Amino acid sequence: QQQVKQSPQSLIVQKGGISIINCAYENTAFDYFPWYQQFPGKGPALLIAIRPDVSEKKEGRFTISFNKSAKQFSLHIMDSQPGDSATYFCAASINNDMRFGAGTRLTVKP
Amino acid sequence: DAGITQSPRHKVTETGTPVTLRCHQTENHRYMYWYRQDPGHGLRLIHYSYGVKDTDKGEVSDGYSVSRSKTEDFLLTLESATSSQTSVYFCAISEVRAEYGYTFGSGTRLTVV
Rounded mean pLDDT of chain B?
Answer: 93
pLDDT over 90 for what percent of chain B?
A: 86
Does A46 sit within 8 Å of B98, measured CB to CB?
A: no
Biggest alpha carbon–alpha carbon distance for chain B: 39
Residues near B106 by beta carbon (within 8 Å), at least 6 away in sequence:
A41, A42, A43, B1, B6, B9
pLDDT value, residue A97: 81
What spatial distance separates the first Cα and last Cα of chain A, rounded to whole Å?
A: 38
Residue range A11-26: mean pLDDT, rounded = 97
Per-residue pLDDT tens over the stretch A35-81: 999 999 999 999 999 998 999 999 999 999 999 999 999 999 999 99
pLDDT over 70 for what percent of chain B?
A: 95
**Chain B residues whose beta carbon lies within 8 Å of the beta carbon of residue A89:** 42-43
pLDDT value, residue B99: 65
pLDDT value, residue A96: 72
pLDDT value, residue B98: 61
DSSP B22-44: EEEESS--SEEEEEEEETTTEEE
Does B31 sit within 8 Å of A96, measured CB to CB?
A: yes
Interface test with A, best of B7, B25, B95, B102 (most A CBs within 10 A): B102
